[in-house]
């Protein structure tokens, strides 16, 4: 009897293995899970310290930061086979001064293994020109221009001894979704080896590094003596091109 | 005679639970006048109900929307002035602060692609935001307005009636205001009745002569039936404009000193005129077009045709045009109790 029993057990185990491996091979996970996004605000390799941190930009100009806020939207997770999953209504507003906003949760992400993610820095054109909104897009939350309707995508304020503006101010309000000064930028971030594993019974966490100094280098090195602020307009795409190059990176993932 | 009805009314919150507020959510049908084009704003996601309209009406005249409880939308948008601000060149906001531009008329807004003299606001639902938050107008913040209304009876109930729950947020405030302002349609002037061949649409000889002149001299910018082509132009008020106008929004040098072409409907009621309110009477305005136009760099091409500045008009022609402009007054609209000022709660 015993041999049969062992045989049965082995057969069962083999069957289970087959099912599991089959599932795994085809990425056919069912259900959906939550994904945490943690935004670690940095300046270069240093942790961003609002008001007190002293930094130097790529041009060698000293600066301090008093405000650092940004919007991202249309988060999309991509599988190795190239398929893309857009998370509906994923509009996030992160404010370095409000710790609660630096940890965001995406609900109902379809279970699966993902190798990269896309998102828009800013607000997509459709919503930028829509009517009254709620949630992160509620104008009550700020980061919004009422006189020239539209969302401010990235806001960095502070000071630099090199700035020729009043009180040595830096005031970069990047936004605008209309040509020729469109600042909507879509980026793709590769995920570290192992990727992102979303399951219905787990809550993986993606740690993103957000480097404020990347606004001032990349495609154009910014000299604060000549460019120290704007509310959208012709200079906004210069900063948008910079931050699309390297402001966001995925540091690590806790699956 | 209003044919070609455009029905946009639907129950606002179909997802809401069964409650008494359903009764108050009686849909209101938006009717586009038969001599008007299809509206731009279709009340999509904001179907008009009686409760939503009433809430918007109440909010429009609510002093609590201003930081010091002194001012409401109707303070600068008066029904008897076709919702412009009679006798005020520029808006007079809280703390005796004066704005920089003349409060525009409010009507036929659902046909307007953008708002303000410079067109900086691109959606009717957001058109109230400037006035609510500008330090020289109502000087409030959306957060504070939401807090104030939450504490003020009977607003939570009015929001429940309109939207299915007592939650108050900026979106609901804007949508309710839009249900009210979007329904402000002015299309029953003598001119409209003339066009629709209705009773009351008989023109005098002067009015008819004025209309014919208007069609030759004015209609290219103040295009019928809305009496604006919704463009931004300079009509040569100054050699060097003091206000950059549309350029503030587009940053295009060609837009420096250009402003929205305003509708001429109800123009006899909405003095003073121009973005800065510099003309007190229509006689002054016609005089300007005849002989006062300044040749600034962005002066509209229509105002310098064949090397002639302005629109040459004899005094009689000017009077005839003014006679015609008077036929654009819509007395039904400015006396419509649906839009009338409400006492403070």
Q: For residues A234 and A159, what is the distance between their CA atoms, to the nearest angstrom?
A: 21
Residues of chain B with pLDDT > 90, as a percent, come to 86
- Of A178-187, B89-98, B166-175, where does mean pLDDT reach its minimum? B89-98
Residues of B in contact with A150 (CB under 8 A): 122
- Give the domain ranges of chain A: 1-30, 32-254
Q: What is the pTM of this model?
A: 0.87
pLDDT score of B125? 97
Same fold, B21-187 and B190-329: yes
State which fold the B190-329 domain adopts: Cytochrome Bc1 Complex; Chain D, domain 2 (1.10.760)
What confidence category does residue B11 fall into, taking pLDDT thresholds of 50, 70 and 90?
Answer: very low
Sequence-separated contacts (24+) of B232-235 with Cβ below 8 Å:
B232/B118, B232/B119, B232/B258, B232/B259, B232/B260, B232/B261, B233/B258, B233/B259, B233/B261, B233/B300, B233/B302, B234/B258, B234/B259, B234/B296, B234/B298, B234/B299, B234/B300, B235/B274, B235/B288, B235/B289, B235/B293, B235/B299, B235/B300, B235/B303
pLDDT score of B19? 46
pLDDT score of B88? 85
Nearest chain B Cα distance for residue A136, angstroms: 12
Tell me the count of A-B CB pairs closer than 8 A.
64
A130, A133, A147 ranked by CB distance to B120: nearest? A147
- Give the domain ranges of chain B: 21-187, 190-329
What number of other Cβ atoms are within 10 A of residue B158's Cβ?
24
**Chain B residue set in contact with A, beta carbons under 8 Å:** 45-46, 116, 120-126, 129-130, 133-134, 141-143, 146, 169-171, 173-175, 178, 248-249, 251
What confidence category does residue B38 fall into, taking pLDDT thresholds of 50, 70 and 90?
Answer: very high
Residues of B in contact with A146 (CB under 8 A): 121, 126, 129-130, 133-134
Q: Is A140 close to B251, i.e. CB distance below 8 A? A: no
Nearest chain B Cα distance for residue A149, angstroms: 5
Tokens, residue B343: 């006492």
CATH of B21-187, one of 2.60.40.10, 3.50.50.60, 1.10.760.10, 2.60.40.420: 1.10.760.10
What pLDDT digit, counting tens, does each position of A166-196 carry?
Answer: 999 999 999 999 999 999 999 999 999 999 9
pLDDT score of A24? 45
What pLDDT digit, counting tens, does each position of A37-71 carry?
Answer: 999 999 999 999 999 999 999 999 999 999 999 99
pLDDT score of B22? 54
Q: What is the mean pLDDT of residues B20-43?
A: 85
Question: How many whole angstroms from its chain centre is CA B156?
Answer: 28
Q: What is the mean pLDDT of residues B267-274?
A: 96
Q: Is B120 close to A148, i.e. CB distance below 8 A? A: yes
């Amino acid at each position: 009897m015993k041999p049969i029993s062992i045989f049965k057990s082995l057969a069962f185990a083999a069957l289970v293995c087959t099912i599991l491996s089959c599932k795994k091979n085809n990425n056919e996970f069912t259900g959906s899970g939550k994904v945490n996004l943690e935004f670690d605000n940095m300046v270069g390799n240093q942790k961003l310290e609002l008001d007190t941190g002293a930094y130097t930009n790529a041009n060698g100009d000293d600066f301090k930061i008093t405000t650092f806020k940004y919007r991202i939207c249309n988060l999309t997770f991509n599988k190795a086979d190239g398929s893309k999953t857009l998370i509906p209504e994923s509009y996030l507003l992160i404010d370095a001064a409000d710790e609660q906003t630096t940890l965001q949760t995406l609900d109902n992400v379809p279970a699966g293994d993902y190798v990269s993610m896309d998102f828009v820095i800013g607000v997509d054109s459709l919503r930028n020109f829509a009517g009254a909104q709620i949630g992160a897009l509620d104008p009550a939350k700020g980061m919004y221009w009422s006189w020239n309707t539209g969302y401010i995508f990235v806001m960095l304020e502070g000071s630099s001894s090199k700035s020729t503006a009043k009180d040595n101010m830096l005031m970069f309000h990047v936004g605008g979704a209309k040509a020729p000064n469109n600042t909507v930028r879509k980026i793709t971030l590769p995920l570290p080896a192992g990727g992102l594993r979303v399951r219905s019974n787990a809550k993986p966490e993606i740690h993103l590094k957000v480097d404020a100094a990347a606004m001032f280098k990349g495609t154009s090195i910014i000299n604060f003596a000549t460019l120290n602020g704007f509310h959208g307009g012709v200079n906004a795409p210069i900063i948008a091109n910079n931050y699309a190059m390297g402001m966001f990176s995925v540091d690590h993932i806790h699956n | 005679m209003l044919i070609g009805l455009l029905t946009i009314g639907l129950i606002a919150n179909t997802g809401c639970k069964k409650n008494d507020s359903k009764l108050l959510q009686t849909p209101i049908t938006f009717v586009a006048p038969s001599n008007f084009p299809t509206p731009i704003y279709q009340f999509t996601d904001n179907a008009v109900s009686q409760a939503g309209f009433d809430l918007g009406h109440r909010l429009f005249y609510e002093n609590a929307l201003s930081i010091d409880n002194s001012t409401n939308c109707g303070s600068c948008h008066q029904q008897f002035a076709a919702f412009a601000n009679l006798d005020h060149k520029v808006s007079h906001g809280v703390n005796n602060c004066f704005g920089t531009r003349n409060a525009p008329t409010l009507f036929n807004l659902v046909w307007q692609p953008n708002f303000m003299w410079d067109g900086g606001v691109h959606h009717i639902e957001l058109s109230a935001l400037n006035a609510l938050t500008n330090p020289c107008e109502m000087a409030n913040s959306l957060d504070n307005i939401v807090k104030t209304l939450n504490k003020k009876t009977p607003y939570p109930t009015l929001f429940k009636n309109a939207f299915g729950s007592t939650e108050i947020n900026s979106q609901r405030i804007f949508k309710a205001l839009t249900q009210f302002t979007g329904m402000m349609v002015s299309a029953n002037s003598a001119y409209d009745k003339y066009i629709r061949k209705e009773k009351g649409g008989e023109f005098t000889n002067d009015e008819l002569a004025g209309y014919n002149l208007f069609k030759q001299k004015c209609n290219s910018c103040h295009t019928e039936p809305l009496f604006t082509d919704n463009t931004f132009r300079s009509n040569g008020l100054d050699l060097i404009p003091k206000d950059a106008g549309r350029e503030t929004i587009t940053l295009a040098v060609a837009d420096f000193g250009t402003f929205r072409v305003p509708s001429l409907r109800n123009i006899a009621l909405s003095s003073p005129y121009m973005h800065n309110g510099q003309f007190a009477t229509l006689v002054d305005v016609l005089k300007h077009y005849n002989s006062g136009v300044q040749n600034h760099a962005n002066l509209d091409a229509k105002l310098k045709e064949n090397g002639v500045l302005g629109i040459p008009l004899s005094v009689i022609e000017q009077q005839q045009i003014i006679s015609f402009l008077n036929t654009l007054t819509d007395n039904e609209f400015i006396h419509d109790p649906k839009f009338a000022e409400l006492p403070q709660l």
